[in-house]
Amino acid sequence: MSIGYATAYRAGIIPWEKASRQDRPTLEHLLAHEEAIRPDRVWHAIDLGCGRGANTKLLVDRGWDAMGVDNVRQAVDVAVRRNGLDDARFVIGDVRHLVHSGVGSNFDLVLDVGCFQSLDDAGRTLVAGGVTELAAPDATILMRTGGPRAFPVRPKQVVRHDIERAYRGWTVTAVSGVGSTDAGAPARASDSRTGEWFRLTRT
């Protein structure tokens, strides 16, 4: 997986970044909801498969104590330089082995923008296990699936069943897209560019 992504970054073939930018209003809306239900506390977040760190930077700018993790060193190096963040904000590591990667623990929010769908079934089970161990008791996972079938990874279509199968002990709720006023509202049909968002909470 990392070899393919490293090749894509070197070649400048990164359509997932464009999709993420297009979907930024949805993410900001969902983050506003998470912030509203956690007033007067420090928010801890981890950005899985952070790439070049745009979403990690967004979290930091909004006041989150955020950490990004990715297994492509080139992308993480760019994340540090481009976003003006301390390199302690990023870990070069495998999301399938989070517990021993030095990312920390007790996260209020786990952000997964296209990471889960890039893994095979075994990888999805491993990342879900790590997230479950490191997340706070009242944590939320915000996950975006679908979107462009970007080189170098052509993931099989992620559906709600795949998420529920991996994330045992979590309740999965599809959420609506841009302009939604209810973070728990049923989702519209998946957008071919930006995919579909899911919100997970502990059962």
Helices vs strands, H then E, count in the chain: 7, 7
By CB atoms closer than 10 A (0-12, 13-18, 19+), residue 6 is middle
**What average pLDDT does the chain have?**
82
pLDDT tens for residues 86-127? 878 999 999 999 999 999 999 999 999 989 988 999 999 999
Residue 49 confidence (pLDDT)? 92
- The residue ranges of every structural domain in the chain are 2-202
pLDDT tens for residues 3-32? 566 566 565 656 566 667 777 899 999 999
CATH of the domain spanning 2-202, picked from 3.30.1330.20, 3.30.1330.120, 2.30.29.30, 3.40.50.150: 3.40.50.150
Residue 150 confidence (pLDDT)? 42
